[in-house]
Amino acid sequence: MKFTLSWLKTHLETDASLDDILYALTDLGLEVEEVEDRAAKLADFTIGYVESAEKHPDADRLQVCQVNTDEGMKQIICGAPNARQGITVVVAKPGVYVPGIDTTIGVGKIRGIESFGMMASEREMDLSEEHDGIIELPSGDVGDRFVDWLAANDPAKVDPVIDIAITPNRPDALGVEGIARDLAARGLGKLKTRGVDVVEATFRSDISVSIDENTLDGCPVFCGRVIKGVTNGPSPVWLQDALRAIGLRPISFLVDVTNFFTYDRNRPLHVFDADKVAGNLRVHRAKGGEEIVALDDKTYTLQAGQMVISDDNGAESIAGIMGGLDTGCTEDTVNVFVESAYWDPVQIAYTGRALKINSDARYRFERGVDPEFTPVGLELAVRMIVDHAGGEASQLFQAGKVPDTSRTYKLNAARVQSLVGMEIPESTQRQTLTALGFRLEGDLAHVPSWRPDVQGDADLVEEVARIASLTKLQGRPLPRLTDGVPKPVMTPSQRRIVAVRRTTAALGYNECVTYSFIDQASAALFSGGTDTTMLENPISTDMSHMRPALLPGLLQAAARNQARGFADMALFEVGTAFSGGEPGEEHMLISGLLVGRTGPKDLYGTSRGVDVYDVKADAEAVLAAMGAPAKVQIMRGANDEWHPGRHGKICLGPKKVLGIFGEVHPRVLEAMDINGPAMAFTLWPDEIPMPRATGANRGKLEISDLQAVERDFAFVVDAEVEALTLVNAAAGADKALIAGVRVFDEFIGGSLGEGIKSLAITVRLQPVEATLKDADIEAVSAKVIEKVTKATGGVLRG
Amino acid sequence: MDDLKAKYLDQIANAADEAVLEDIRLAAVGKKGEVALKMRELGKMTPEERQTAGPALNALKDEINSALLAKKSGLADAALDERLRTEWLDVTLPARDRRVGTLHPISQVQEEVTAIFAEMGFAVAEGPRIDTDWYNFDALNIPGHHPARAEMDTFYMHRAEGDNRPPHVLRTHTSPVQIRSMEKTGAPTRIICPGGVYRADYDHTHTPMFHQVEGLAIDKDISMANLKWVLEEFVKSYFEVDNVDIRFRASHFPFTEPSAEVDIRCSWEGGTLKVGEGDDWLEILGSGMVHPKVLEAGGIDPNEWQGFAFGMGIDRIAMLKYGIPDLRAFFDSDLRWLRHYGFSALDVPTLRGGLSR
């Protein structure tokens, strides 16, 4: 919302400085976004007097002028047709920046003769479009600053323009009067109140105006008057200046009047050319399909139920949003119908959104204009039109009646103290509300009709606090919940997530945060990309679906890094993945991705391509950090994004999958343009059982002082036999004695033959009661061999 | 006897290696060595002679033994020195590579924020990212026609043909978690809700996903003055400064009343933000007293309970504190960025140790 300082002062009697006003506006919640102080731009221009002017010897159109300035006589070459002896002019001396031509003046030679400055036109100083000649001032002393002359003689030209952000709850501040009211309530001056000088009706118009019964809820009141014999044309200078200053182009007086009241009083109006209106005006609901060419020259098709103003020819105006071109005013208009109506904010909002029209009228009606001001605004406009453009006014038409929005809330002075924590005497509170237009009756505050946002006693508190200034609020400690040391606040799952992040980072992974949405094709590679996870209005096709997993985003990140010349990386993300489009159809995931080599090539020969056992180790470490049980099953048969033979599901039983590690399917890598291979793991933290609440006690450590013994075995088994089967079999040979079984070698094929491998294990025996004798060891060894043979069909390697 | 001593000590001193030394040992103090032979002669001596010769022989034996020992260790030292001389390495060669991981600034800052608010008794609440329009809007006093809905650039979920429910939304703020949390725990309550939020906007200062932290405190007598104190304490603690000026500016949010935008005093001298000094004001969050309708929507009686709420951008305060220039880079996963702006795994922010290094 833009307005000028002088416009504000038509509503506010004040001596406050511009800075004070700006501070108060922001503090009141009318945040100043920009101030254009045009005087500042023109500060260096001074007044001069052309003592003499002679034709340039080498140029017919140039005059060589001797100009008296604050720095004495200066020679200035000027090409303006009106440059001549004896006029008072505005001078830009060398070094002065001229905004209209974006140039800093220098000393120059024009056709061989030196020039020490410039005499400016209005356009050159951004004052208007006027550029037929240089400015000739009717008065002014040599050497005075031009801005001072303007301030005294033509203040509108140097009027500061203030732009403030209006929050949606303050439609009243969409009119300059409303802004003035806030400032007056703050104590920055006195609100000027003006009466309405109603133009007397001199004839009766026979147009009739009606509102359909089913439209009264959207248009409770519709007023209008006909004015005959107006002379349309350019607006008076003050009006043109005011509109131009706030960025509106003056069009014609009749149109400018509606714009003026829109900004002055938040009262959108519409002026029909009465000669183009056929028959009577009717406010009703569209049947659907009606077409109308609006004032923006675009054709709109109305949907059933939207409100429209029609004459006998059909739809003429999109009610409350934009008038129709057919019945709009032109320069030739002589008879008009001036309309002022109240439109329901909700209905205007929906219609405006559906038709995608952003107009000043929609913007204001959907936030809420003052219903009681509907007929008053009309009378003010009719008065302005008749006074300037002449004509005679008809009687007032009014269909429907002004809706009753009166309501009262109890002012509880103590509530301000309780809610805001500020001590404001009750008398001040009452004074504030009165200044804002509330009427106090005992402790009941009647809400003014221009404040649709006030809907409860908390709003009264807000008004009082806002005017008193929240900046002055003093902080007060929030009492602790308990005396003493604060209790921990995080849940076990939250702590798990923190542990996961730090553990994975400690394993050398860089944490990423990627977008929750991804392209359909990438989502589909991970069993997602269905319509249930599709966005209705994605920002681009790259972000069309909610991600079914974290890996596609990490793989895309890997591709980007590869494109930047980084081949080796370890990335991870902790985040939400989506299985559907309903609230709750989302789950927490942790994914890690290894691409390239374990490190850069080095002289120690330790760098190698990443493999499945890297991600297996990392997945196990992260699971351990989350408190997952150490004893798990490794199963196969995960989704298609994994290499069919090179992945494992870490499970607690066939249905309970804690995580998957493995090689990403080469087809996925190809589709996502990644140089593979790539290893990854994904964990489901919510699947990990919570530890039973046993307290912090770790239990007693049982250790034996007797020496442990290790024995190695090698078994020849079919290549498909899984190591874990063998290990479990060996471990089961004597659960009391065997403390651990570890695979330390694998040898496939070669001399063993096709499809056969050898697995070597170390079995660690930990005696508890007595040192092991050879016979004991042999007995256990025999049992290990027996168990393994039975479980795997293998034989001890000779 | 003195000859014997001089002979062997001389031999020991000149021994070249351990083998020679062993030979000397055998010859001198071995079972059949010269000293042993001398010992045998003791028996033939008179008791008087024996009394002087005995100790002298023993002393000789000890002296030779310790000379042997000293020489032996000297020789070992020399041999070791000689070996080490050949074991020279070029220690300017690079160390074995070790991958160094990092935490994303969003995670780090989220932990910092949690640490500070936990101290003031705020627990961490979570909620879904896809939510109903009721939780995201209506319950927060933003009815269907409210201009704020259009201004929020909401992402909507697709609706299947024939499903005429209003479309679900990607939460545009963390505020719906307030409602879900109030429903679950009722009053009194103190929570923060950190997490990702979504708005359909993309330019150099906006990304379609970003992160917020919401705060909510409900009790019998919590006032806006308490809110101001909490935020002052937060800002001081988070930015690690002793003092900070906070300015509450009246504003409007549908879900709070009164509402205030919060600015902090700062300076931008030399392009670096300094909080707590200077003449500039930096807007960092929106806040206010929870609107009675919002309390009602959360199942809390507004006649009995009141409280405050605030919301701020995690990414934004991360950028401010750590001097990260571009929001878009947060979500690009550029390894160089992750390594430069990321945090070490063991840099756990705590109030006792400090939030940042």
Mean pLDDT score, A604-617: 93
Exposure pattern of A660-693 as b/e (b: 16+ CB <10 Å)? bbbbbbeebbeebebebbbbbbbbbbebbeeeee
Residues A126 and A263 in one domain: no
Q: What is the pLDDT of residues A444-462, one digit of tens each?
A: 999 999 999 998 888 999 9
pLDDT surpasses 90 at A606: no
pLDDT surpasses 80 at A692: no
pLDDT surpasses 90 at A515: yes
Look-up of token digits 């939510």: B131
Nearest CA in chain B to A169: B252
φ/ψ (deg, to 5) at A270: -135, 140
Q: Which residues contact A391 (CB under 8 A, 6 or more apart)?
A: A227, A228, A229, A230, A231, A334, A385
Mean pLDDT score, A16-22: 92
What pLDDT is recorded for position B50? 83
Shortest distance, CA A583 to any CA of chain B (angstroms): 5
CATH of the domain at A296: 3.50.40.10
Asked if B98 and A456 come within 8 Å (Cβ–Cβ), the reply is: no
Task: With cut-offs at 50, 70 and 90, classify the pLDDT of residue A404.
Answer: very high
H helix runs in A234-372, sequence order = 237-245, 253-265, 345-355, 360-367
Residues A385 and A255 in one domain: yes
Domain positions in chain B are 2-86, 105-341
Mean pLDDT score, B138-156: 83
Residues A552 and A424 in one domain: no
Residue A594, strand partner residues: A570, A679
Task: With cut-offs at 50, 70 and 90, classify the pLDDT of residue A191.
Answer: very high
Q: Which residues of B touch A26 (CB under 8 A)?
A: 249
With a CB-CB cutoff of 8 Å, which residues 247-306 of chain B face chain A?
A: 247-252, 254, 257-261, 289, 291-292, 306
Q: What is the pLDDT of residues A716-756, one digit of tens each?
A: 999 989 999 999 999 999 999 999 999 999 998 788 888 89
DSSP structure class, residue A580:
S
- Concatenating the DSSP letter of every residue in A83-143 gives --TT-EEEEE-TT-EEGGGTEE---EEETTEEE--EEPPTGGGTS-S--SS---BSS--TT
Residues A148 and A268 in one domain: no
Q: Which residues of B touch A581 (CB under 8 A)?
A: 130, 157-158, 168
Q: What is the pLDDT of residues A662-678, one digit of tens each?
A: 999 999 999 999 998 99
Domain closes at, from A354, A380, A400 = A400
Q: What is the pLDDT of residues B124-141, one digit of tens each?
A: 999 999 999 999 999 999
Residues A59 and A16 in one domain: no
What pLDDT is recorded for position A581? 93
Of the listed ranges A269-273, A318-322, A699-703, the one predicted with least confidence: A699-703
Mean pLDDT score, A215-232: 94
pLDDT above 90 coverage of chain A, percent: 71
What pLDDT is recorded for position B245? 87
B105-341: CATH, from 3.10.290.10, 3.30.930.10, 3.40.50.720, 3.30.160.270: 3.30.930.10
Residues A268 and A367 in one domain: yes
pLDDT above 90 coverage of chain B, percent: 59
Q: What is the pLDDT of residues A468-498, one digit of tens each?
A: 999 889 999 999 888 888 888 888 899 999 9
Q: Which residues contact A5 (CB under 8 A, 6 or more apart)?
A: A18, A21, A159, A160, A162
Asked if B223 and A546 come within 8 Å (Cβ–Cβ), the reply is: no
Measured CA to CA, the distance from residue A377 to residue A369 in angstroms comes to: 11
CB A675 within 8 A of CB A626: no
In 3-state terms chain B splits into helix, strand, coil percentages (rounded to 5) of 45, 20, 35
Of the listed ranges A194-203, A571-580, B212-221, the one predicted with least confidence: A194-203
Residues A504 and A453 in one domain: no
CB A652 within 8 A of CB A623: no
Q: Is the dihedral of CA A728, A729, A734, A737 positive or negative?
A: negative
**Residue B339 CB neighbour total at 10 angstroms:** 12
Give the best-scoring range by mean pLDDT among A74-78, A546-550, B34-38: A546-550
Host domain of residue A765: 709-796
Asked if B160 and A531 come within 8 Å (Cβ–Cβ), the reply is: yes
What global pTM score does this model have?
0.85
CATH of the domain at A412: 3.30.56.10
DSSP-derived pairing of the beta strands A201-203 and A392-400: parallel
pLDDT surpasses 80 at A128: no
Residues A120 and A131 in one domain: yes
- Residue A766 domain-assigned (yes or no): yes
Measured CA to CA, the distance from residue B333 to residue A226 in angstroms comes to: 67
Residues A120 and A207 in one domain: no
Measured CA to CA, the distance from residue B14 to residue A775 in angstroms comes to: 55
Number of domains in chain A: 6
CB A257 within 8 A of CB A269: yes
Nearest CA in chain B to A458: B257
CATH of the domain at A719: 3.30.70.380
A579 close to B (CB below 8 A): no
- Residue A63 domain-assigned (yes or no): yes
- Residue A485 domain-assigned (yes or no): no
Of A471, A514, A575, the CB nearest to B333: A514
Task: With cut-offs at 50, 70 and 90, classify the pLDDT of residue B40.
Answer: confident
User: How many Å separate Cα A702 from the centre of its chain?
Assistant: 61
Mean pLDDT score, B8-19: 87
- Residue A695 domain-assigned (yes or no): no
Look up residue A255 and give its two tokens.
């149109």
pLDDT surpasses 80 at A345: yes
What pLDDT is recorded for position B178? 95
Mean pLDDT score, A301-325: 91
- Number of A/B CB contacts below 8 angstroms equals 283
Q: Which residues of B touch A569 (CB under 8 A)?
A: 335
CATH of the domain at A57: 2.40.50.140
Mutate to test the interface with A, among B223, B280, B350 (most CBs of A within 10 A): B223
Burial of A258 (0-12, 13-18, 19+ CB in 10 A): buried
Of A470, A502, A533, the CB nearest to B250: A470
Mean pLDDT score, B214-238: 95
Measured CA to CA, the distance from residue B155 to residue B142 in angstroms comes to: 16
Look up residue A685 and give its two tokens.
């933290």
Asked if A349 and B145 come within 8 Å (Cβ–Cβ), the reply is: yes
Of A458, A514, A606, the CB nearest to B331: A514
Mean of the per-residue pLDDT values of chain A:
92
Mean pLDDT score, A593-614: 92
Of A509, A534, A603, the CB nearest to B93: A603
Q: Which residues contact A784 (CB under 8 A, 6 or more apart)?
A: A713, A730, A733, A734, A738, A763
Of the listed ranges A570-574, B86-90, B109-113, the one predicted with least confidence: B86-90
- Residue A703 domain-assigned (yes or no): no
Residues A135 and A217 in one domain: no
Measured CA to CA, the distance from residue B248 to residue B285 in angstroms comes to: 10
With a CB-CB cutoff of 8 Å, which residues 157-176 of chain A face chain B?
A: 167-170
CB A133 within 8 A of CB A83: yes
What pLDDT is recorded for position A563? 96
Structure ipTM: 0.89
- Residue A748 domain-assigned (yes or no): yes
**Residue A735 CB neighbour total at 10 angstroms:** 8
Q: What is the pLDDT of residues A634-691, one digit of tens each?
A: 999 999 999 999 999 999 988 899 999 999 999 999 999 999 899 999 999 999 998 7
pLDDT surpasses 90 at A219: yes
Residues A631 and A543 in one domain: yes
What pLDDT is recorded for position A746? 93
Shortest distance, CA A533 to any CA of chain B (angstroms): 7
Task: With cut-offs at 50, 70 and 90, classify the pLDDT of residue A159.
Answer: confident
